[in-house]
Structure 1
């Protein structure tokens, strides 16, 4: 399923936290690693000995040389771990960073994007960086977003102490929120390869039973009832059925329901309470792409998650 993994980098240590899981995935799945960075014009503070402003082609050439040297260094460090798979590195011409990255992932036929949010700019738990934000809104392939628990350094370096030799898939506790729609369930098809073979998938359905109409995807009797027992039973039946329709590779499944509360907040509460290591969520489903991603549920989960989030959007919705 995953043959080519794109890792966008910006030269910062923070951004390089995407490398260990991407390398682990590549080892397990036999996938190619594709490293990419966007070449920005050189700044005088960094590149000009006399601090004079580099202009025109000179600034672009310096930026390109610095980006190329950086990716060469990252590639060398990956090779030092003993990784024998394919590693390709490419500097993308400056422009709108997220647009450039999405064009690049389409050109190289990437199957998965692994990136941190946010390496260039402030790090805030409640703020999704503009680059990652733009990528997940436009990417036709799954995007794994990581938010490392550390302050951002100025630049990455050869002394980076990230554990690139860990060699294991880190995710054993996986939360999959479902809204009752078949399109939301598609994330179950693409998540198992990115988890440990003995991982546990927790399927969660959040229902507000006292809101007239309820979920349009649950049976008519559930939408019209105020009986919590009926609602919970139908929700559990739905989750059991959803789990049975996808091949999870023998991974165990747990069922959770929440009968009240805002969906996004409920998902985050379950993730914290159950020490979830990965949330896998579809940006389609109830409300369509625009509402799920730009509105309440997926947006809140992505911005507030205490763990990595795998964001999936069906290709025809891209």
Structure 2
């Protein structure tokens, strides 16, 4: 089976360091290849001398993270320096290497314009990495909202796979409009519990009543999850669970890392060899 390809864009900020730590963690889990890219933003730097300076900075950054990954036992298979629009160049290189995951760093409760465009426009999964998941510690508490849709189901399989490989706790959540839907909500989350148990794991479930985005955020904050996995169709439409701006509100308004799983990519996440035995 071909290796997964992961893409880590660099910008020199502390958030890049957090993204790098997450890239290393997930690359180890899935024995994946990682490529890095630095884009000289011509929307900011137009002068020839400025572009030259940023090119030198970018090459230094690529070398720095090449060594950082090597020290952690993960090799960078390709480091690229490009000039242009960060969003456009990230999307181009993702297609060129057929990356299944882009890892971006972000501050708590915020999302930069490039990261937001990548979440919307990339035809692959996107991990928004935040401070809670910095360092070498594995993910410990993983949260997946589900609604019974195919997209959310794929996200649940991905969440269970990561939980399995990192020995993390897994919690499934369904939001209902009223208590008449309680049994339906329990049935939906039970599918995730059954999946986890089939892999020898234990999982918990939460069924909450109210507005979807608000209740998802309350659940994340109350339980102190470090990684949320949420489904996205990747075809310009969003599943019923995250209809309209709900997914983006969750991504932007939480302090935990968020993995946006797009059903356009249908990797069999349980069939990739684990790197830690």
Q: Please give the TM-score of this superposition, normalised by the length of structure 1.
A: 0.72
Matched, 1:90 2:80: yes
Map of 1:24 onto structure 2: 25
Matched, 1:106 2:95: yes
1:73-98 superposed Cα distances (whole Å, 9 cap, x missing partner):
221232233x1544421112222x11
Equivalenced residue count is 262
Map of 2:187 onto structure 1: 237
With CA pairs under 8 Å and 6+ residues apart, which has the higher RCO, 1 or 2?
2
CA contact (8 A) 2:193 2:202 kept: no
Map of 1:14 onto structure 2: 15
Matched, 1:266 2:215: yes
SS at match of 1:288: coil
Structure 2: where are the runs of 5+ without partners?
266-277
SS at match of 1:62: helix
Matched, 1:198 2:167: yes
Runs of 4+ in 1 over 6 A off after TM superposition: 290-294
Map of 1:135 onto structure 2: 118
Match of 1:253 among 203, 207, 215: 203
SS at match of 1:250: coil
Q: Distance in 1 between matches of 2:129 and 2:181?
A: 34
CA contact (8 A) 2:36 2:76 kept: no
SS at match of 2:8: strand
Q: 1:298–1:307: structure 2 CA closer, same or farther, 3 Å change rule?
A: same
SS at match of 2:238: helix
Q: Which has the higher strand share?
A: 2
Q: 1:232–1:267: structure 2 CA closer, same or farther, 3 Å change rule?
A: same
Q: Distance in 1 between matches of 2:43 and 2:244?
A: 37
Alpha-carbon RMSD = 3.1
Q: Which has the higher helix share?
A: 2
Structure 1: where are the runs of 5+ without partners?
45-53, 118-122, 150-161, 210-227
Looking at CA atoms only, which structure, 1 or 2, has the larger radius of gyration? 1
CA contact (8 A) 1:2 1:111 kept: no
Q: Distance in 2 between matches of 1:284 and 1:2?
A: 23
Q: 1:12–1:261: structure 2 CA closer, same or farther, 3 Å change rule?
A: same
